[in-house]
A and B are shown apart, each in its own frame.
Chain A
């Protein structure tokens, strides 16, 4: 009988090992090229950032970062296999090589950057945590929330920020936690909590889907810094550089006024900055292991950062987050979007 058992065990072992391959033997870029597609990790669907359409396609501002990287490598933005996993295993999944990069509203924090074997490649959205309350509650400031019941997404930095904020202001609160936003929203709408807290980008989007959006108000305070950006594995600097500079390229293109529509005529531009960005001059792309004109493809397919923003989370979308005057505006407009120079 144990012979049968050990045959079974051996078969299982062979199966697993046979399935396996050496993920870390070569550089990520070479591996991606050989595989023919990029493994891009996103989270469970979230509107605006990584949303799943009823035709089964992913879209959103975070998805566009992956698509830009795919376009830079393959000249085709859609050579991507999306992996949608819960936040509990997002870093494990990246660390063990299942995903090449994750782009899923992940907050850049010291512990994550230094202790979990990750590298943050930049920031594609500056967010901050806010509160949503019913208008008829008469609350106008978060400081009036002492003793309130607050709905909060679990396992996120949001949950920690909430506790920190109430402790710092010497207030008490009762959390109602869940890892499903819709459950929290339903609870909130049913009156199960006095306030709903999340990143402000999410609050506006959720409110738009309420039976009566005007009956709820987002409180003015922002209680945390949430720089969200793409993450790669630690230990492959070339890959981290590629992702970082594709992101910078998107931001730089907006600054230089290069869009999806005018990228072809911009190829003939006299501006040396544009020439370098589009690979007409210099060898920035080659140095990164991709085509010299990688940004041309990226911009044609995705557009610059501003276009990306307006397409997925801008004012004309259901998410409707205005950009002007926020941290997500370009640096010369008072925002924090600042690409390092392309030279």
Chain B
């Protein structure tokens, strides 16, 4: 300001900008710029709009305008509109089975509780002030399944299983205690417990002992609680619907990450036997379609095991999906590992870090971060691929949809349930892919993260 005055003139005041030309602003301007900038563009626009209109109207006509929403049976639907419109009441009548399979109706709350537990378990990952996100994420993958297995399966838990469930519950308590403490006080759970017991000034060794004792006490309390907790047994033959799809893909996803990392490391290691074993495994499982793997495990796994050993159908499918997912994930991770400059390894070596330290502390965090979009893409692929278990006859969401058309009341109702399932899948996959794009943007901060 003072400088202008010193120059003795009137301070420089730019004239207000003139408004943009009318043909570049507003709806018309936007359309001119984006839709009709040239004759060929205009033609493209019209053709595109026509195709979009016809497709959307055809679907809407069938699914909404001509559809029947209230009827007692498919016969009634057919008498009303024939095959011109959808017959939704059948899908509604079967919606519980499509979601939960043949799970006993009075036990379905358990499935909901199981998934609610998972949601609660991972909610802290989105709380901004929580520090121990890695630990929480790891427990969600490694420890939560034991609790989930009891929610879903129930029955008489043996000693080992009870301990695992107890550990799971103790972990859940720890997750929320940590989340709350770190959000409000900023102290970690361990620090808080030590302060509470008044031992925060003791030696580190003592503190560790105290923490261990606290963990054991939590486990013990949880174990006692578990021993009072009995849920009726629901065999896996009754699992089905969207719930089963989530279970299979969930286990596949949880299993694929750690095993994929191990396989990828194995493929890059300099011990030839291990490297060749990993390469063979990865290439074998990647080169054949999932459906052949499912077929193989379904028909041949019983032959591979000792005479009389039985593995139920769900477990066979899960084993197949897990191995398949691990092989794919291994290649994704390998891509990430290849992108890490050699300097990172050399620097870690120079710092005196061993193989595992280098891998866990330096390489993996960078590799995983680069590959997050691909990893999520892989998860989406796996989730979509679980539709194939219907071909070997598991009552996943697709086969449950198929069962609607075999109900005498809704005999032949086939397209509608499939349509509903397609929409369901689309919503899930689209949400996942959008989330992965968000995550990519969020992580793409430092210069190291940019590709």
Contacts and interface: CB of A to CB of B under 8 A. Distances in A.
Interface of A: 1-2, 4-5, 8, 16-17, 19-25, 44-48, 51-56, 81-86, 88-89, 92-93, 96-98, 180-183, 185-186, 189, 205-206, 208-211, 317-319
A52 B308 contact: no
Contacts of A186: 412, 414-415
Interface stretch (B117-125, B180-188, B259-267): B259-267
Nearest to B83: A211
B406 A20 contact: no
A108 B171 CA distance: 55
Interface in B254-278: 259, 262, 265-266, 269, 271, 274
26 contacts: A1-B274, A2-B274, A5-B262, A8-B259, A20-B305, A23-B309, A45-B403, A45-B406, A45-B407, A54-B93, A54-B97, A55-B105, A81-B237, A81-B238, A83-B237, A84-B393, A85-B313, A86-B393, A92-B299, A93-B313, A180-B402, A206-B412, A209-B74, A210-B412, A211-B78, A319-B408
Interface string B299-321: 10010011111111101000000
Contact of A92 (B75, B97, B302): B302
B360 to A, nearest CB: 12
B405 A5 contact: no
A279 to B, nearest CB: 32
B82 interface: yes
A208 B235 contact: no
Contacts of A51: 406-408
Nearest to A5: B262
B149 to A, nearest CB: 12
Given A52-B407, A54-B96, A319-B408, 15 more contacts: A1-B265, A5-B274, A8-B259, A16-B305, A23-B308, A44-B399, A47-B407, A47-B411, A52-B97, A55-B105, A84-B237, A88-B393, A181-B406, A189-B83, A205-B408
B340 interface: no
B94 interface: yes
Given A44-B406, A51-B408, A319-B408, A19 B415 contact: no
Contacts of B307: 24
A183 B414 contact: yes
A180 B235 CA distance: 26
A205 B311 contact: no
B27 to A, nearest CB: 44
B386 interface: no
Interface in B89-126: 93-94, 96-97, 102-105
Nearest to B406: A45
A23 B93 CA distance: 39
Q: Which 8 A-B pairs have the closest CB atoms?
A: A86-B393, A209-B411, A45-B406, A20-B309, A182-B414, A209-B412, A96-B302, A182-B405
Interface of B: 74-75, 78, 82-83, 93-94, 96-97, 102-105, 235, 237-238, 259, 262, 265-266, 269, 271, 274, 295, 298-299, 302, 305-313, 315, 391-393, 395, 399, 402-403, 405-409, 411-412, 414-415
B402 A44 contact: yes
A93 B259 CA distance: 30
A20 B392 contact: no
Contacts of A4: 262
A89 B15 CA distance: 82
A261 B284 CA distance: 62
Nearest to A50: B406
A181 to B, nearest CB: 8
B448 to A, nearest CB: 26
A1 B262 contact: yes
Q: Of residues B237, B407, B409, B412, which shows the largest number of chain A Cβ atoms within 10 Å of its Cβ? A: B412
A325 B390 CA distance: 40
B61 to A, nearest CB: 18
A318 B237 contact: no
A56 B98 CA distance: 11
A46 B299 contact: no
A207 to B, nearest CB: 10
Given A22-B308, A84-B393, A1 B269 contact: yes
Contact of A56 (B102, B311, B391): B102
B411 A208 contact: yes
A297 to B, nearest CB: 24
B262 A8 contact: yes
B382 to A, nearest CB: 19
A29 B342 CA distance: 66
A56 B262 contact: no
A52 B414 contact: no
Nearest to A18: B160
Contact of A98 (B83, B312, B392): B312
Nearest to A180: B402
Contacts of B298: 88-89
Nearest to A83: B237
Contacts of A55: 105
A243 to B, nearest CB: 20
B392 A89 contact: yes
Contacts of A5: 262, 266, 274
Contact of B310 (A81, A96, A181, A318): A96
Contact of A20 (B311, B393, B402): B311
Contact of A88 (B75, B235, B392, B409): B392
Nearest to A90: B393
B408 A47 contact: yes
Nearest to B417: A182
Contact of A54 (B305, B407, B415): B407
A54 B92 CA distance: 10
